[in-house]
Structure 1
């Protein structure tokens, strides 16, 4: 994922087993009872399966099993070496059923956080909370029934059937079609729901926490339109019974395309409201496209990962083109191209058919490979190829060769050069990218405007005025940038027009590159944008306090209450940092310290907590027992980047002699995983007096 999405530079290691064992799981029906306080789950499972050759036993993947008992008379079960073994004998041609009860203490894949239980399959393996199959090629029908969690809401794949019994309300989810186990999802929490219906009749369930109702309409406003577009563009109706979207605080990724049940980072709900109304659009479209590419048609091997991510990225771009217009689409192509060219200069690219690639390969290069294929064979042949590919392999597994063979049947064009350039080579065909970009009118003019950099403003003023007035924001951004760099500067009338603009993209260019500010201009920007675009407001506040330090104290006093009452912790954190100039009375300094500690607390997402730790360090506050307690909590966080930041801080702080006594006081409270990390990284972390 790109742009506002976090670029996940995580290699996709080979995780799919070869189907050497004869087990073919048809369905798994489970009655589940997760317990938040104990951070464990127990359940009763019935698995239906076949075998391809005679065997005495078959195994389901299962980790951290605490208890296991057979529920099928005369049949044995056993947990050993990460598997639940079902004993036979078993013969081909017969469908078998085996039942068992189990309990697990998930170390990953199921998370118990802030009163919410949620799961993440891809990269974590659902077998950490439900015995199943890790092989993506084994497509299984899952039917989950979760024992009464009232008043919490239970969300999962499939159609919800609420059942009553034994004085409780159970939530049962029924699936019609099979899927890979990594796409299994379960969420239990205090969510509210809004629904949309597409023109084809697909019901979309949009969830949010009660305190986030303000953000829901903006976040989800394009969902129905995107899904309807994808159905028509792909040429295959939405393949599942319904579609759900659930925001999770501190989710592991930007989004995860579980079958008919996308989970995404709750941060993007606030971002859509306070920063960029389109901030969730690309995630939304990307995860929806996965319902076809990845969920309906699934890679056979890890080296074919681009068939998931490249296709989902390509179709998110097509949704942008259709709904947001050609300018935004062409900007996406241009930005992605620059990322690829930069990656090539760092020798960071891999062949697309590879299990050693990164998101830059599978997502960005994969999508660009499809752009080039569409140009090579023509739009009509491309559309028919995709339609045939999806219809032929629906609910099955595929390889890249399968896709190429489908395209070859739809088009007489020789694909060998495209296959070599885009799929099998680590080198990037930059010349092809440049020709493609130059063929788009908006991008052609944008690149021509870039060539004007360095020329006197007088030589390009007429062209700039003409292009700026045409309203293409991409051109306007480049023109505003060149205005800020001109020796002549920006005249006051033009500056006033820009400052009055509601387009945050132009304001950000101005804040990044313009230096001739007046205090009233920046103050006006803060007041104008603090409730509509947090990024612009924070930039303006930073510049105001740093450019006009003599008035800083007065301005901060005037905005104190304002930053307290607004639900924007990022804004308040920046205010606290700017206020801590070291010249206040001790009681004021202490108030700022206590406020920063408040933002380190687990009730906040990792982004806020990370900023609070960073500001605390920058200000130079003395570390206290409370600081260390929050850092220890963060050092076991499920999100690895934040966890590593906290652990690195522990190592760094532990090397400071004046903190030795404090660290010794907390030593017994350190989780073993943290102790192992610190001792391995910094063996002499406690100094001897």
Structure 2
């Protein structure tokens, strides 16, 4: 019998986990019907050296009807024993996941107070060094409870007032949270108090306050050595733009935040509802997990989008900028009740970002992006069998199929009706949680004959992607229609001249050169002559596809080194050095002072080429040291990955490179750790690499030894 019982328990382990999770969700669902948490006053102190945070929390809540217990999510925290409700100490339970209150509260208004501290395993990140650090949050979904006792249930909306303190005396640090900064009456100076506070060299407490409720996952902190510029929207909302103090130059401010005010003014007008908060900030941070995060009033985004005027042409922040701002309405003002309706946030933010880009770049750009989304969805549909209205749907479905659904809806009922429905929907459900049918009910009110049930079935409840239907909308744009016709025709070099000489959108012309990639140079020579006179991106397509450069084309190809694109410069540098090695030093001299974009890809490529040519040992060693430094924790993951990729090809069994690769597996950014883990596992199949790792494990300190052995034992 004991064996049977053990087997039964083993088989049902995962089932019981599911039941527990379901019970937790149901418990919170019941709690929000019986208890309404109104306001949180939190005073917290993050500490970079110990990678910890401590704080004092006060929640005001209202008991609506009898309830046995009240829960506050708090992951892996130490809770002070003196938990007080309405000023009196009460007993409570804590299970490493949540605080459970079961006495001391009454019907009507109550107040609970306690202190806590923790070392978060996620959500609150400590980046950099003790002399130049950043602390920032990423709470998307239900993760704020890893650093702040709060609520994983997005349906519990609270007014959060966050005060925080830091005890670093070596440098001035700027910090922001959600809402308006309220200066306290202290002797120390402050600057622009509505925007941010400056940490003094001695401890000071600063308070940010919200006036309206929001879900916990939108609570944020960002602390670093930031500088800022500000302006106001057409409607008077303060707009504040931050940069790391190391990037404090006019060119990067202008290029990074280009069109920000235009985007804000456009979205406010297009959505038809005034921006719902008192201020809007945008701050880039190092090694952010994603492109951006729409924390209420204060968006955090990736440092990789901080660019100068040349880098803007390679990768700009405009789409992310518009996407995260649109979330201030769709996600922050109104929030989906559950993952099933997540498209109401991501689909809307994606579509309104496209509409904002249409305002900036025009119709051709807009339809070209829609076509690109369609191609991605068509490809994904081969294996993706989950529809949009399902909490397990892919990000591609939530974002881009959701955007496509809204585009067809807007086209079918008309822009004015669409705007009217959205406006009514937002005003009716502001500061509340929503489901899809509530939005569609507003659509039905303005377009009574429109079949919302068929729309929901076609776009939201059916897997796959109807490319034929999508093309019927895309063909309204001449450039995309031309593109579609070209794709379906057999490649004909002779017919391409007419397209290149026309004013059709540049992506169509790019496509021609990508399609002719394997055509001999002589057969496309005349077309290349035409293409070289086109815009930056058509020229870039030529640079990419002409890998074998004829001598007659050499001078023209060298002109790519002067294009306003670091990507084009890098492509040209590689191909020129490959085709004309005798001139490599000339090309390297011309580009030696160019760093490139935030990921230093061009600089790293330059070093890899220069090291192969350099004959002076001292100079070559200096180049090696610079490249090796780029693989270290001093730099962001995008830089480290680029450098490691090159160093592993050049010095595959170098002890220092191997050590850097293994250290990369401990990074917080999953994309980078995935790269490093896969690189290690594939290389351990090589006997020489394995031998070097085994030797390193013998002499390493305990931390590194454990890391080496972890992968050696796999």
Range that drifts further, 268-277 or 29-38: 268-277
Could you tell me how far 1:338 is from its partner in structure 2? Answer: 0.9
Could you tell me how far 1:406 is from its partner in structure 2? Answer: 1.9
Correspondence for 2:457: 420
Matches of 2:617 and 2:166, distance apart in 1: 53
Could you tell me how far 1:670 is from its partner in structure 2? Answer: 3.0
Could you tell me how far 1:493 is from its partner in structure 2? Answer: 7.9
Matches within 5 A, 1:428-507: 428-451=465-488, 453-457=490-494, 459=495, 461=497, 463-464=498-499, 466-467=501-502, 470=503, 472-481=505-514, 489=522, 495=528, 498-499=531-532, 503-507=535-539
Cα contact 2:596–2:602 (8 A) shared by 1: no
Matches within 5 A, 1:512-661: 512-514=544-546, 515-517=548-550, 518-526=553-561, 528-529=562-563, 532-552=564-584, 554-555=585-586, 558-559=589-590, 561-563=592-594, 569-581=600-612, 584=615, 590-624=621-655, 626-652=656-682, 656-661=690-695
Please point out which of 126, 140, 148 is paired with 1:122.
140
Matches of 1:153 and 1:251, distance apart in 2: 18
**Helix, strand or coil for the counterpart of 1:562?**
coil
Matches within 5 A, 1:86-101: 86-92=101-107, 94-101=108-115
Residues 390/490 of structure 1: CA separation in 2 closer, same or farther (3 Å cut): farther
Please point out which of 334, 340, 360 is paired with 1:297.
334
Could you tell me how far 1:601 is from its partner in structure 2? Answer: 1.7
Matches within 5 A, 1:132-531: 132-147=150-165, 151-165=172-186, 168-214=203-249, 215-270=252-307, 273-276=310-313, 279-345=316-382, 347-412=383-448, 413-451=450-488, 453-457=490-494, 459=495, 461=497, 463-464=498-499, 466-467=501-502, 470=503, 472-481=505-514, 489=522, 495=528, 498-499=531-532, 503-514=535-546, 515-517=548-550, 518-526=553-561, 528-529=562-563
Matches of 2:56 and 2:633, distance apart in 1: 33
Matches of 1:278 and 1:222, distance apart in 2: 15
Matches of 1:565 and 1:399, distance apart in 2: 45
Matches of 1:138 and 1:659, distance apart in 2: 50
Matches of 1:117 and 1:402, distance apart in 2: 38
Aligned residues: 656
Cα contact 2:40–2:160 (8 A) shared by 1: yes
Listed one character per residue, the Cα deviations across residues 390-424 of structure 1 (whole Å, up to 9, x for unaligned) are: 11111000111222222122212122222111111
Matches of 1:569 and 1:60, distance apart in 2: 44
Matches of 2:114 and 2:206, distance apart in 1: 20
Could you tell me how far 1:328 is from its partner in structure 2? Answer: 0.9
Cα contact 2:307–2:316 (8 A) shared by 1: no
TM-score normalized by the length of structure 1 = 0.88
Q: What 5-or-longer segments of structure 2 have no aligned partner?
A: 1-20, 188-201
Residues 620/151 of structure 1: CA separation in 2 closer, same or farther (3 Å cut): closer
RMSD value, Cα: 2.8
**Helix, strand or coil for the counterpart of 2:184?**
strand
Q: Which has the higher contact order (CA 8 A, sep 6+)?
A: 1
Range that drifts further, 181-190 or 66-75: 66-75
Range that drifts further, 273-282 or 292-301: 273-282
Could you tell me how far 1:560 is from its partner in structure 2? Answer: 6.9
Listed one character per residue, the Cα deviations across residues 585-634 of structure 1 (whole Å, up to 9, x for unaligned) are: 7656544432321111212111110111111111134322x334433432
**Helix, strand or coil for the counterpart of 2:183?**
strand
Could you tell me how far 1:95 is from its partner in structure 2? Answer: 1.0
Correspondence for 1:5: none
Residue 668 in structure 1 maps to residue 668 in structure 2 = no
Matches of 1:452 and 1:406, distance apart in 2: 43
**Helix, strand or coil for the counterpart of 1:169?**
coil
Could you tell me how far 1:67 is from its partner in structure 2? Answer: 4.1
TM-score normalized by the length of structure 2 = 0.86
**Helix, strand or coil for the counterpart of 1:426?**
coil
Could you tell me how far 1:542 is from its partner in structure 2? Answer: 1.2
Matches of 2:549 and 2:490, distance apart in 1: 20
Correspondence for 2:76: 64
Q: What 5-or-longer segments of structure 1 have no aligned partner?
A: 1-12, 685-689
Cα contact 1:145–1:173 (8 A) shared by 2: yes
Cα contact 1:75–1:87 (8 A) shared by 2: no
Could you tell me how far 1:212 is from its partner in structure 2? Answer: 1.1
